[in-house]
């Protein structure tokens, strides 16, 4: 049976199936029929049906008869499936071969180039993270500011992180409080914590970082999100890990949804909004530091205006100044 490609399938779907139905209805078709002979529009469809063995000729009358498609389908489709399985198996073997090379390159070549390496391009960064996390043996530390990541990004992260957790790798992840509003983030957290990961949130703004086995750190490059800096220098790695640990100690477990925790988180976000106002940050910068949208941040400001009966930001700032507020006040305990 000859092989058939996309072009053949296009002819089959566009014209050959219609011609086949005509042949079935009429009881056959002659090769010199004007619908399929010479330069007729259906000639290519007729020839394809013959190649597919869906039309056969018997006797001396040269009348082509339709064949049951069920007897032909397996002859066409089965070889394609077998070839697809062979290609899939071969692609898997090639992927394993390249994985070995990738490990050698990451463990030796980058080190030989020095303690710092820059990666450019979102796809290149994503591919490096996938392969590097796949090499993790003991621990993953991640800090993800502005935790409202899109579903596709979180799905990819979930597959990557779950594979590491199933290998026994310990994982701790840090988000901002604003991530608690995201249903897709809740879904991701539920998946990874069910396999032993720890996830916490904090009101403060921090930069993105991933630390793998305390031998490699990945941080954003200075040129924007399309660049990343790989750090292998031991002293700097120890410093970054220490910052993560100190931040982790001040954070709150993501899985804790008690009313007291929710009240404390709301207070912390309120206090940070006040600090942003007092320090004079623009709204877009303040929203980014809180990990929320500009519209949400504007809502925080509106709530403060209503609370302090201020019509303008100037009045709000003046009132808070008169009260000696700094944005660092602790929450008042609930009345018992």
CA distance 211 to 136: 10
**Exposed / middle / buried, residue 189 (Cβ in 10 Å: 0-12, 13-18, 19+):** buried
Give the pTM: 0.56
SS (H, E, C) 27-68: CCEECCCCCCCCCCCCHHHHHHHHHCCCEEEECCCCEEEECC
Task: Tell how strand 216-221 and strand 209-212 pair up.
Answer: antiparallel
Q: For residue 253, is pLDDT > 70?
A: yes
The rounded distance, in Å, linking the Cα atoms of 242 and 211 is 11
Cβ contact 12:44 at 8 Å: no
Could you tell me the domains of the chain?
Answer: 6-67 (1.10.10), 115-253 (3.30.870.10), 259-322 (1.10.10.10)
Torsion angle in degrees (nearest 10) through CA of 294, 300, 303, 304: -120
* pLDDT single digits (tens) 158-214: 888 999 999 999 999 999 888 887 788 888 889 999 999 999 988 777 788 999 999
**d(C-alpha 219, C-alpha 128), whole Å:** 13
Each residue's pLDDT tens digit, 99-157: 655 555 555 544 445 688 888 888 888 888 888 888 888 999 999 876 555 667 778 88
């Amino acid at each position: 049976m000859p092989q058939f490609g996309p072009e053949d399938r296009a002819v089959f779907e566009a014209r050959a199936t219609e011609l086949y139905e005509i042949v079935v209805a009429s009881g056959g078709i002659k090769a010199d029929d004007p619908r399929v002979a010479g330069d007729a529009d259906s000639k290519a469809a007729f020839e394809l049906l013959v190649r597919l063995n869906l039309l056969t000729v018997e006797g001396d009358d040269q009348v082509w008869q339709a064949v049951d498609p069920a007897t032909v389908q397996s002859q066409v489709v089965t070889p394609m499936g077998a070839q697809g399985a062979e290609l899939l198996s071969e692609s898997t073997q090639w992927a394993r071969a390249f994985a070995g090379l990738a490990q050698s390159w990451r463990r030796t070549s980058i080190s030989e180039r020095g303690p710092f390496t820059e990666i450019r391009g979102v796809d290149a960064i994503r591919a490096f993270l996938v392969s590097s996390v796949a090499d993790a043996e003991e621990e993953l530390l991640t800090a993800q500011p502005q935790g409202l990541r899109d579903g596709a990004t979180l799905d990819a992260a979930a597959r990557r992180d779950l594979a590491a957790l199933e290998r026994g790798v310990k994982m701790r992840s840090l988000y901002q409080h604003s991530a608690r509003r995201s249903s897709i983030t809740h879904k991701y957290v539920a998946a990874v914590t069910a396999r032993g990961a720890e996830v916490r949130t904090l009101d403060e703004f921090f930069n993105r970082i991933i630390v793998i086995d305390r031998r490699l750190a990945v941080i954003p490059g200075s040129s924007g999100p399309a660049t990343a800096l790989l750090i292998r220098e031991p002293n700097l790695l120890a410093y970054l890990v220490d910052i993560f640990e100190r931040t982790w100690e001040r954070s709150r477990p993501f899985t804790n949804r008690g009313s007291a925790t929710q009240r404390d988180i709301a207070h912390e976000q309120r206090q940070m909004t006040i600090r942003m106002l007092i320090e004079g940050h623009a709204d877009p910068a303040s929203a980014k530091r809180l990990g929320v949208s500009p519209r949400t941040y504007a809502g925080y400001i509106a709530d403060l205006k209503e609370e302090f009966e201020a019509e303008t930001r100037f009045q709000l700032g003046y009132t808070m100044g008169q009260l000696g507020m700094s944005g660092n006040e602790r929450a008042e305990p609930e009345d018992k």
